[in-house]
Amino acid sequence: MVKKLYNEKEKMEYLKTIPEKTRIVYKFALCRSFDTEEVSGKDLYNFTSEEIKDALINADHSTLNSIKLTFNVFESYIDWAIKTGKVHSNINPARSIKRDELKTYLSKKKILFSKCEIVGMQRKMVNAQDKIILQLLFEGVNGHGHSEILNLTKTDIDWTNCELHLKDDKYGERKNVKVSETCINLIKEAIEQTRYQNKNGTSIGNNPELPLIKNHYILRSATTRVQNYNRADKHLIYRRISTIAKFFGYQYLTAKNIEKSGMIAMAVNLFKTRNKLKTEELSMIANQFGVKKTVVNGYEIFNISFLRDFINPDTIMDLYNIHID
């Protein structure tokens, strides 16, 4: 994203009227209109309502909260321009745009998801067996071929301390991995679930609902003609995530993107508590999500360089409306 202000002098004049605590967030929002302003050759305060919509679309928002914030800043900026006589009209074209419309201007290529969005999806999901897949991935449980999820059994849960004993088919064990109370409660629900509703309860086929296999694993297959009481395979997770993605219309809802989204959520929490997001914090995220270490100059360290590709100020601002230097 371009971090420039079109007609910078006047926008800075406006930003001086904004409380210092929120000024950086407002500036970031105004930077989002730069491309559209540059192409049209005029300032945002001279835009028509259609041009404001174009600016919102071009800003490539991925969450409803972020586009609402940007829209509010646009509206406020135009109000200021009217009040200070920079615009000859006293009508703010942004007010003709209904807030219910804003979701239609979100990016069609939705890749990453905020914690609020994950929770929102889970509330509309009918199977705890599906909810727990999203939650475990979001909190750092995955493994080679999703084996940490598939290997998870009732005896691997420390219910009191909210900790998991994880087993990876390729890399071995990870003990005492901390998860949220929400995750523990969803594990309980997944264990207690006895019947699985196909297509998130929307199936109209011959078998809209099937009994789940009874075994000691948390994640279980639904009963089919061929009985299999062993551990489920990775294709079960692929199928269930694919069904969820289709139900919500998220083409890029994948295990990897859910995992990345969880890393960003953890980064936000660390920043809130530690007021920084440096190598130490990124290493904590890598540890939680089972990132493998590499040897550099005889020392084992986390290879965290790839984390910075998506744990960055732009992504965090877009998903959580929080500015990080």
Q: Is the pLDDT of residue 216 over 60?
A: yes
Q: Please list the alpha-helical segments (H only) found in the chain.
A: 8-15, 20-31, 34-40, 49-58, 64-83, 115-123, 128-138, 147-150, 181-192, 234-248, 255-274, 279-288, 313-320
State both tokens at 131. 């909810």
pLDDT for the residue 110: 84
Which tens digit of pLDDT belongs to each residue from 11-59?
Answer: 999 999 999 988 989 999 999 999 999 989 999 999 999 999 999 998 8
Which tens digit of pLDDT belongs to each residue from 287-306?
Answer: 999 998 887 788 888 888 88
Residue 157: partners with Cβ closer than 8 Å, 6 or more residues away: 163, 164, 165, 184, 187
